[in-house]
Every structure is written in structure tokens, then in C-alpha cells.
Chain A
Amino acid sequence: MEYRIALAQLTPRLGDLEANFELARGWVRRADDQGARLTVFPELALTGYLLSDLVPEVAMRASDARLTALSREAPGMLVAIGFVEETESLRFCNSAALLRDGELIGVHRKVYLPTYGMFDEGRFTRHGDRIRSEAVGEPLGRIGLSICEDFWHASLPMLQAQDGARLLVNLAAGPARAPGSAAGLAAIAGWHKMQDTYALLGTVAVAFCNRVGNEEGLTFWGGSRLLAADGSIIAEAPLYEEALVVGALETDDLRMQRYSLPLLADERLELVRRELDRIIAERAGFPEPPDGDEA
């Protein structure tokens, strides 16, 4: 069956929660008009990206009524949106909420915070410590949320695929590196290759929503994409411009893809774990775990 997904490639207002909630409500309604059953917003869509010390000022609990209210704009629709989360233990995280009908279905806290080159995220936010997928009911079953840099670590999407995700949703705030040059095109091509590869190797659909606009001289490049589980492009947004892009995922195709290419089912997780345990032990100088090789 067809499952319509909207990518809300917008420009958030830096530090302005109220304005961004208002924007988000409008985009949810527009996505609803186009029959979307899931709307994906970018990373930190409710706050803007280059917050620095504004982090505690815009932080909210995942259970915040303003967040849950957003999903009541469109009954039955799943909404994935980025915000600054203040956890119960008062950790400030770059998080994505998954909401439906006024209910919080799940939260993903960005695990990999880029703190190098033009990025300084680890200075202002704390990393998440869970990689899970969320149950959303048929026809998707489970979906895996991740945030921007998380996708540069193949372990995360592959774990989510093993955890049952049929769709990977990545919320991004990717600033353009060397836009307008060969290096800039190569950076975008890198993102595309990575998404294509996850779709292929994970036999999962991929929804990537990247923001646009400009903050403090950084320009965010957009180019949001919806990919089928064979890596083919279902929908693609333009570079650098705001756009609401809606595409239909054919869930029957996904089912047959899993039958004809049973990569996930064939994965030797116990072997992966044993080798990971060994590598971790060697790096940390722990005594070696017992060798599981057959005698």
C-alpha cells in the first residue's frame, strides 16, 4: 500500500520557539492537505541550529504540551521534529520527537555530536546514549530516528534496521561546505552515497530532511530525499530553497525487497557481537573475552 511521507524543508528562526511552533503547525497542516501520514522536519526545527548559550533558554521536556499539541494539528499523522530536550536528569540534548495524536511515541537523542571543523555541538549539548527504533504500527511497523551526524556512523542505521525499522528517518541541519565548488558538490554527493548505501544494505526506506536558510554566515543546503528500500529516489527537494516535498512509499515493494534480498535476516549478529567485544577489550586493555571459536 501507499504510505505518503512529507519532508518539511524549512528555515527555522534562530532561538525563536514561538515563531517556529507557528511555522511547524502551518507545515503540518499543508502536509496533511497533501495526504501525508508522516511529516519529517529538520534537526532543531523548533529552535534553529547555532544556539550556543541559548540552549538552556529554548530547552523543553519531551513531554512538553506544546510539542504534543503540534501533532494534534493533523489527526493520525506521525510528526518527527527536532528540538532541544532537557531530560529528567537535566541533560541538554539535541533530540528528535516522534509524535501522533497528541502523544509522544518516542525520542531520539543525537548520539554523535560533531565537534570539529565548523561544528561545536559537543560544547553546548550532551550526547544521547540509546540507539533504538520506535513502534508506529502497520504498515511501517517500526521506524528508526537519527539526527544528521548520526548518519555518518554506519553502526547506527544498521542497528536500527536490525531492531526492526523499515524506515530510517534522518533529521538534519547540514551547513554547506564550500558551496558552489567541486568540494561542495562532493560533500553533497557524500550524503547521497551514504543514504543510498543504507537503503541498499539495510533494505530500508530512508527519509532525509535537511533544513535551508542561513545562520551566522552558514548556509544550510536542503536537498531532502525520500528513498525506497532499493535505494531508488521517490522524492527529492531542491537545494537551498524551502520546499514541502511529499512522496509515496510503496510498502508492498519493501516487503518483497526483504524477501528477495534477505540481508538483514542473514546478518550474523552473534558473530558481530563477539568480534566487537574482542575489539573493545583489546582497545581498553581488558582481559580478552573467552574465544568462541569452535574447537
Chain B
Amino acid sequence: MTAERTPLPEIDAEQVIGIIVTFIRSQLEQTGFKRLVVGLSGGVDSATVAYLAVRAVGADNLLALLMPYRTSSPASETDALRVVEALGCRSERIDITPMVEPMLALIGDADDLATRVRRGNVLARQRMIVLYDRSAAFDALVAGTSNKTEALLGYGTLYGDMAAAIAPIGDLYKSQLRSVATALGVPAEILAKPPSADLWPGQTDEGELGASYDDLDRILFALVDRRWTAERCAAAGLDARLVAWVARRVARNEFKRQLPPVAKLSLRTPGVDHLYPRRRPGSRRGS
């Protein structure tokens, strides 16, 4: 009963794949790039982006980067390699451990959540540095792997895993991603395991968020897409406390989804009244 009144957002995976492939090709065409770089974690999101990228530009034009840290789960790397093998795309393995250890030493090894998050942010931002550097070397755009659930909850590192040139799966909830990943043929092992940022041993998204993605997505779909009030969500049978927590989290993380505000001083200010599409004639590379 509850499931019917507050459904998960359903999609037609094949149609969604077609639209994302068009989007990727159009972005590359408009920017003058032919290639993409994706950071492969071994999880379902980055695997899905890699599969979509290969559909859009072919395996030769995708560089998959594996960027383990010394505490990363070996299973993550095994799963990332499954994707590389299945797709036949280029790949590089770059161990970020020596890059981040001096910085992590500054943070220290306290085990409270705030310190763990700081350390996690360093890993995510170091991976961003590697991705952007390799994208320059490979002459490619960085394809982001953030999904809509993460973006709305602010479950991501600003200028870390949230940094990208394009966001192919940014409007897909985690629960929707599974059907897209399945339609794309993402390996079953990747679909089966619990989602994890793997920023510290034993971390799982659902453990850290304190709710299942299905529960979170039902609430987000009701609050955001259907514009329901928290009261209406609760009346329809959703957990009122979880609804309130999600609503607060969406509001508190609004800043992560926008460019920083500019103190307006001039006649025309970028982002305020100097407004252009990202690409226009003359802005394409090589034009």
C-alpha cells in the first residue's frame, strides 16, 4: 500500500540510455573533444558511466582510471578491472597513497567521524587532481559519476568526486541507476554488492546515511519531483523522522549544487546578468 502511494521513480532504461548517449556526444561535439576520462571505483555508478561513455564514443576514446589508496578494498579494484576487461577500454592504475600520505599526516589519525570525513575528502580531492591531470594528457573531458541521490543529500566531496566537466547520471536516483546499469550489462558482481565510497575500511553508503537507498529515493522523489510537503509524505506512510532528516539535508547542502555567490559590484556580473550557454561559436576548442 505504502509502496504504491510513494513509489520509487521508475524509468525506461533504454530510453534513458539513448538520451544520455545523445547528451555525451553533444557535449563533446560542442566542446571540441572526442575523448572521456572516468574514475572507476569498482562501484555501480562509475561502471555505469563507463558503459555509457563507451556507447557514446567507443572503447578507444575512454580512459578508465583506477586510483586505489592503501586501505582501499581489493575487491573494489577487482570489480573495476572487470569493467575495463568487459569494455576493452584503456585504463591506468595510479596509486594515490604516496600523494596523500603527507597531507593525511597533518590531519592525524583520530577515529571520530569528522576526522574520517576530512581524510575521505583528501582522497576524493586527490583523485580529482589525478583525473584532471590525466584528462589533459589524454585530451579528454572528465565524466562525473555523481548521481541525483548523492547530489540532493550532499553526499559527495565538493571539488572532489563532485568535480566533472559533464554529469551524465546526475539526474538519476541511485535506485534508477540499477536498472540502467542492468540494461547496459554492468557485471552482476558490481550490482550485487552494497554501495560504498570505500574511503575507509568497512564504510557503506547505507550504513553512513542511516537508511537504504530505496527508502531515501522514495522520500526524495516525493519531496523533490512531486513537490510533496513533509506532512503529506508522512500521511502517505513514509517515516516522518527520516523525511525530516532528508528535507533538512537537501536544504543544508544547497550550496554544494551551486557556484559560490559573487559579491555584485559591476554592471554585468558572471552568473547574475552575464548569462551565456557554456558553449557558443568561437568557444569550441580549435575554433
Contact = CB atoms under 8 A, between A and B. Distances in A.
Given A214-B22, A217-B23, A179 B279 contact: no
B285 interface: no
A15 interface: yes
B241 interface: no
Interface stretch (B11-19, B77-85, B93-101, B135-143): B11-19
Contacts of A178: 225
A181 B23 contact: no
B128 to A, nearest CB: 21
Contacts of B274: 53
A216 interface: yes
A219 B22 contact: yes
Contact of B15 (A179, A213, A217): A179
B276 A176 contact: no
A181 B9 contact: yes
B281 A16 contact: yes
Contacts of A14: 30, 277, 279-280
B19 A176 contact: yes
A285 interface: no
A292 interface: no
A15 B26 contact: no
Contacts of B26: 213-215
Nearest to A239: B15
Nearest to B12: A180
Nearest to B15: A180
Given A180-B11, A181-B12, A240 B18 contact: yes
B265 interface: no
Given A180-B15, A240-B18, A52 B277 contact: yes
A51 interface: yes
Contact of B19 (A19, A48, A180, A215): A180
Interface residue SS majority, chain A: loop
A69 interface: no
A54 interface: yes
Contacts of A271: none
A1 interface: no
A50 interface: yes
A213 B21 CA distance: 11
Interface string A132-161: 000000000000000000000000000000
B278 interface: yes
B16 A50 contact: no
A213 B23 CA distance: 8
Interface residues of B, number: 23
A77 to B, nearest CB: 28
A13 B280 CA distance: 9
A182 interface: yes
B233 to A, nearest CB: 18
A213 B27 CA distance: 11
Nearest to A179: B19
B280 A54 contact: yes
B10 interface: yes
B277 A50 contact: yes
A134 to B, nearest CB: 32
A131 B191 CA distance: 56
Contacts of A50: 277
Nearest to A178: B225
A10 B10 CA distance: 29
B100 to A, nearest CB: 33
Nearest to A218: B23
A179 B171 CA distance: 11
A215 B16 contact: no
A178 B9 CA distance: 10
Interface string B252-281: 000000000000000000000011111111
A71 to B, nearest CB: 24
Contacts of B277: 14-15, 48, 50-52, 54, 215-216
A16 B12 CA distance: 33
B11 A214 contact: no
A15 B23 contact: no
Contacts of B27: 214
Contacts of A240: 18-19, 22
A215 B10 CA distance: 24
A230 to B, nearest CB: 31
B22 A213 contact: yes
Top 3 nearest A-B pairs (CB, nearest first) are: A180-B15, A214-B26, A15-B280
29 contacts: A13-B281, A14-B30, A14-B279, A14-B280, A15-B281, A48-B277, A50-B277, A51-B277, A52-B275, A52-B276, A53-B274, A53-B276, A54-B277, A54-B280, A176-B19, A180-B11, A180-B13, A180-B15, A180-B16, A181-B11, A181-B12, A213-B22, A213-B26, A214-B26, A215-B26, A215-B277, A217-B23, A219-B19, A219-B22
Given A54-B276, A182-B10, 11 more contacts: A14-B277, A15-B277, A51-B277, A53-B274, A176-B19, A179-B15, A181-B9, A213-B22, A216-B277, A217-B23, A219-B19
Interface of B: 9-13, 15-16, 18-19, 22-23, 26-27, 30, 225, 274-281
